[in-house]
Amino acid sequence: MLEALKEQPADKILALMGAYRADPRDDKIDLGVGVYKDPTGNTPVMRAVKEAERRIWSSQETKAYTGLAGEPAFADAMIGLVLGDAVPRDRVAAVATPGGTGAIRQALELIRLAAPSATVWLSNPTWPNHPSIIKYLGMPSAEYRYFDEATGGVDFDGMLADLRGVAAGDVVLLHGCCHNPTGANLTADQWQQTIAAVRAAGAVPLIDIAYQGFGDGLGADATGTRAVAGAMEECLIAASCSKNFGIYRERTGLLMAVARDAAQAKVAQGTLAFLNRQNYSFPPDHGARVVTEILTDADLRADWESELEEVRNTMLGLRQALADELRRLTNSDRFDFIARHRGMFSRLGLTPEQVEVLRKDHGVYMVGDSRINIAGLNQDTVPVLAKAIAEVAS
């Protein structure tokens, strides 16, 4: 049987990680994989996470199975964090999932079950795992324009024009904030226009929110998601706790299905639990428990929010410093968009050849589409990177 297997294409970002590790140069710079790193290059365990784990360790008396949907307290806490009071709680069905990826996978499984011929519309570009999972599940997909290479901003006219082609019952996948890979995001007004377009088409939004708190702040980053949930009869929301709680390997996420009423939410809840059962039975619990502990304890929550703010402001400072240095070196505003982008990523708009020169000649590792992880920098490496970019881009 196994001889029938074919070599699977390597994940480009993980392959880049390997190449970086194998590079003997001391002054190499890793701007690849999407993990937050502090100025010393570490991905720390957040203080509140450590304390929550200590409390769980000392008080937990069983590791028997939880519910198929995970602990209800986790769902409640996360719904509060993501949706605030945008929709009544009884309209929201939710299941814990292994990370944001698990939430996206379960959302797509739900769509496939309910509407097998629905086309899933993806931003061009998007996180490569979106099309990859959709293709694996054999679901139809299409792209809407999103990024304007010339300005480094959102091609909003193109996006709206493409959304006019969406059919009733199709699904439109939107990034809740901190768009990956571009870093370019919708304004509040553009969210409203997007909602109007999706409603007019009779489509269902699927929101992927993986970086809440990394852009403009916890509340501000949820503005679009809350507006969608408040305005639409139905939507799906996949939330990840990997980045904002720094618990990447704990695999912690939540899938929410906002239904038109409580009765449909109940059926959706049963379906989500069923889907968990088919795929992995009970979702991971440890990370979810840590998140619940933090969100429901006033002191832990305050400490988490303040550390997350430090993380966010560190990235904003690096964005500004890189944009300023590039402005000085290129004597132009070509790279000013880096300071306007939000989240961990920016797409620089360099060619694959230029990205290759940066790697070979300068030891700078970024994804082939010229996406950089801004958190891979610090105040010392900003000028080094700016100089290298200015050189290859001139």
Rounded least distance, CB 286 to ligand PMP, Å: 14
Applying CB under 6 A, which part among 94-102, 296-304, 334-342, 349-357 lies near ligand PMP?
Answer: 94-102
The 8-class DSSP code of residue 178 comes to S
| Dist CA 305 CA 311 (whole Å) | 10
CA distance 186 to 216: 12
Residue 243 bears catalytic tag: yes
Q: Quick one: which segment of 16-24, 36-44, 95-103, 297-305 binds ligand PMP (CB under 6 A)?
A: 95-103
6 part of the active site? no
Tell me the window of 41-49, 99-107, 134-142, 227-235 that interacts with ligand PMP (CB under 6 A). 99-107
For ligand PMP, the closer CB: 144 or 248: 248
Contact between 242 and ligand PMP (CB under 6 A)?
A: yes
Decide whether 106 or 180 has the Cβ nearer to ligand PMP. Answer: 180
Q: Computed from CA positions of residues 382, 388, 391, 392, in that sequence, does the dihedral angle turn out positive or negative? A: negative
Nearer to ligand PMP, 212 or 314 (CB): 212
**How many CA atoms within 13 Å lie on the side-chain side of 95?**
32
Single out the residue of 100, 152, 205, 224 in contact with ligand PMP (rule: CB under 6 A).
Answer: 100
Q: Is 365 in the site for ligand PMP (CB under 6 A)?
A: no
Min dist. Cβ of residue 380 to ligand PMP (A): 26
Q: How far is the CB of 96 from ligand PMP (least distance, A)?
A: 12
| Cα distance between residue 259 and residue 90, in whole Å | 9
Do residues 179 and 208 lie in contact, with contact meaning Cβ atoms separated by under 8 Å? no
**Interaction with ligand PMP in 113-172: which residues (CB under 6 A)?**
127
Active-site residue, selected from the candidate residues 148, 155, 208, 369: 208
Segment interacting with ligand PMP (CB under 6 A) among 96-104, 154-162, 297-305, 308-316? 96-104
Under the criterion CB under 6 A, does residue 240 sit at the interface with ligand PMP? yes
Angle between helices 188-201 and 156-163 (to 10 degrees): 20
Q: Which of 121, 127, 191, 304 is catalytic?
A: 127
Helical ranges in the chain per DSSP H = 12-22, 47-59, 72-83, 99-114, 129-136, 156-163, 188-201, 223-231, 262-279, 286-296, 298-330, 337-340, 352-362, 381-393
Question: Which position has the token pair 């939430």?
Answer: 103
Question: Least distance (Å) from ligand PMP to the CB of residue 165?
Answer: 23
In this structure, are residues 279 and 4 in contact, taking their beta carbons and an 8 Å threshold?
no
Pick the binder of ligand PMP from 170, 208, 221, 325 (CB under 6 A): 208
- Is residue 99 a contact point for ligand PMP (CB under 6 A)? yes
Q: Which is nearer to ligand PMP, 35 or 392 (CB)?
A: 35
Among 195, 210, 235, 374, which residue interacts with ligand PMP (rule: CB under 6 A)?
210
Determine which one of 197, 243, 259, 304 is catalytic.
243
Only segment of 195-203, 240-248, 265-273, 355-363 that touches ligand PMP (CB under 6 A): 240-248
Q: Which of 48, 94, 210, 238 is catalytic?
A: 210
What's the closest the beta carbon of residue 14 comes to ligand PMP, in angstroms?
11
DSSP type of residue 180: T
Among 32, 34, 224, 246, the residue binding ligand PMP under the rule CB under 6 A is: 34
3-state secondary structure of 47: helix
Size of interface with ligand PMP, in residues (CB under 6 A): 13
193 Cβ contact partners less than 8 Å away, ≥ 6 residues apart: 156, 160
Identify which of residues 100 and 363 has a Cβ nearer to ligand PMP in the complex: 100
Q: Confirm if 13 and 33 have CB atoms less than 8 A apart.
A: yes
Distance of closest approach, residue 366 Cβ to ligand PMP, in angstroms = 15
Q: Return the SS3 of 152.
A: coil
Cβ atoms of 358 and 16 within 8 Å: the answer is no
Q: State how far the Cα of 150 lies from the Cα of 335, in Å rounded to an integer.
A: 10
Closest CA to 103 of 210, 224, 12: 210
Work out whether strand 153-154 and strand 147-148 pair parallel, antiparallel, or are unpaired.
antiparallel
- Contact flag: residue 253 with ligand PMP (CB under 6 A): yes
Residues catalogued as catalytic = 127, 208, 210, 243
Rule CB under 6 A: which residues touch ligand PMP?
A: 34, 99-101, 127, 175, 180, 208, 210, 240, 242, 248, 253
